[in-house]
Amino acid sequence: MSVKSIFMTTIMIILCWMTPSAIALTLPPIPIEPIYFEPPIVNASDEIKHLNCVALDNNIRYLHPYRYSYKPGFYQDDANKIATALITVDSLPVIGTIPVIGEWIGFTYLAYSSLVEEKEQRRMLQVEQQIAMLQQVKSEKHCFE
């Protein structure tokens, strides 16, 4: 045997001897929230159950404008284009050495835009659930007949 193989064998034995055979992972004591938003299930209240078919129709009709997002998409929003341009221009080697402020402004605006988009998606989902609940009550009352 060569000196190198003896040395490697000795290192492997030492490493195997030092590491425990079973490592138990303990969960942190804090509750872990889910990563993605889980919308609550909307149940009909007694007040809504006592509405007549016309009132249910009116409530659904009044909720329809809130089903849509009036925020422009990422590629249609000119402010997103400007923020992306600020990040790109500040990361160029020649211009990027002077100010770093534009890059931070760009990243900040893109993060803000993303948060607004998430809030908008949650709002629209809640309105959709409210409309679905009203339509369920409407079908239970046989308003379609």
Write the pLDDT tens digit of every residue in 23-32: 556 656 665 5
Of 2 and 58, the structure prediction assigns the larger pLDDT to 58
CA distance 87 to 106: 6
Residue 64 confidence (pLDDT) above 70: yes
Radius of gyration of the chain (CA): 29
Write the pLDDT tens digit of every residue in 27-53: 566 655 566 666 677 888 888 888 888
Residue 106 confidence (pLDDT) above 60: yes
Domains of the chain, by residue range, sit at 45-145
